[in-house]
């Protein structure tokens, strides 16, 4: 191990971000570049048509490919010190419809990745897991990392299996790793039309004056964490040498869907047109993560409160919508 560490002295470390053009990935890349890392962004070529300024940075390499193609992944891993694994090919709500696809793409893809990471001498793999799905139905809130894991969707089972394989590869091959079980991240860059993230979806609907659907009576409680806080946790996990390797990353408090809507209405100054629908079988009544482990081992705690995060996100989304309508107006000329 020691010669690997000495090799890194005076050498800039290279981070690979799998899923680098996604919501979390693009924020992470910006932060890594700001900290002076060399960064390689891996994503599918058709993703991320709108290219941000960070993608023209001299320390950034773009590497197009498909996560389920071992050749693409091996190209991406060459010369990498730290690998951030943010790729997911499925969504929690749709994963049960095709568990075979979920396992073949997410789980097998990741086990292959870990095998190759060992071959290429990658120093550490940092995996984004799911604080909302790996525990299943909470027995007590807030949920600590030691809470039983009984996922009720294939997505959660795959995430959990990946966590177990990371532990296995660490034990067998000394591959260092960290797992961040995220609550519901939200913030600038999250798309209102992707169907993921209640804050983004609701905010988009309110700003466009569209009807939004609430499953159940709106009393379902979730933990929402601002994107900047998520990225800080990812950065702190790079050099964490603690024996703890699995961390909940959330805000430490919950908001019901009705509360979320109230905050959004106040922030935007517009009423939401709410349609309440029957509750869904897989929505647990309350899910809030305990973040004591991350405080203790990573020295991390969330800095941006829900209301402030929503204000920043709303300001960004208003600008986006204004730009889109300008483009639509100017789009006909020639």
Exactly one of 155, 177, 224, 226 is catalytic; which is it? 155
Cross-strand bridge partners of residue 38: 14
Contact 112, 216 (CB under 8 A): no
Contact 289, 183 (CB under 8 A): yes
Cα 261 to Cα 214: distance, rounded to the nearest angstrom: 10
Contact 73, 65 (CB under 8 A): yes
Whether 155 is a known active-site residue: answer yes
Cα 112 to Cα 296: distance, rounded to the nearest angstrom: 32
Cα separation values, 167 from 147, 177, 235, 243, Å: 18, 8, 20, 12
Query: How many other CB atoms are found less than 10 A from the CB of residue 297?
Result: 19
- 284 three-class SS: coil
Q: Which helix (H) or strand (E) holds 124?
A: strand 124-130
Cα separation values, 152 from 57, 96, 155, 256, Å: 42, 9, 9, 21
Nearest alpha-carbon partner for 249 in 110, 73, 130, 117: 130
HSE, CB side, 13 Å, CA atoms: give it for residue 297: 23
Residues designated catalytic: 155
């Amino acid at each position: 191990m020691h010669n690997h560490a000495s090799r890194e002295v005076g050498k800039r470390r290279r981070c690979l971000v799998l899923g680098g053009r996604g919501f979390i990935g693009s924020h992470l890349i910006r932060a890594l570049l700001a900290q002076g890392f060399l960064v390689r962004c891996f994503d599918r070529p058709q993703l991320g048509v709108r290219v941000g300024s960070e993608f023209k940075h001299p320390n950034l390499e773009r590497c197009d490919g498909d996560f389920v193609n071992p050749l693409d992944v091996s190209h991406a891993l060459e010369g990498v010190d730290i690998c951030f694994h943010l790729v997911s090919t499925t969504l929690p709500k749709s994963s049960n419809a095709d568990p075979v696809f979920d396992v073949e793409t997410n789980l097998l893809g990741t086990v292959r990745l870990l095998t190759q990471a060992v071959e290429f001498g990658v120093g550490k793999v940092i995996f984004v897991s799911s604080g909302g799905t790996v525990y299943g139905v909470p027995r007590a809130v807030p949920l600590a990392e030691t809470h039983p894991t009984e996922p009720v969707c294939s997505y959660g089972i795959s995430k959990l299996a990946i966590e177990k394989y990371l532990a296995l590869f660490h034990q067998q091959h000394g591959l260092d790793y960290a797992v961040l079980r995220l609550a519901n991240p939200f913030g600038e860059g999250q798309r209102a039309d992707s169907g993921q993230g209640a804050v983004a979806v609701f905010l988009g609907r309110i700003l466009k004056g569209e009807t939004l659907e609430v499953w159940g009576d709106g009393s379902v409680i979730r933990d929402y964490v601002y994107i900047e806080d998520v990225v800080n946790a990812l950065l702190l996990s790079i050099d964490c040498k603690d024996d703890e390797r699995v961390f909940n990353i959330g805000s430490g408090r919950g908001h019901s869907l009705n509360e979320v809507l109230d905050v959004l209405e106040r922030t935007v100054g517009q009423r939401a047109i709410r349609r309440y629908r029957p509750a869904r079988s897989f929505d647990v009544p309350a899910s809030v993560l305990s973040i004591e482990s991350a405080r203790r081992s990573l020295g991390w705690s969330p800095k941006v409160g829900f209301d402030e995060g929503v204000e920043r996100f709303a300001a960004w989304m208003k600008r986006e919508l204004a730009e889109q309508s300008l483009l639509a107006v100017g789009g006909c000329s020639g």
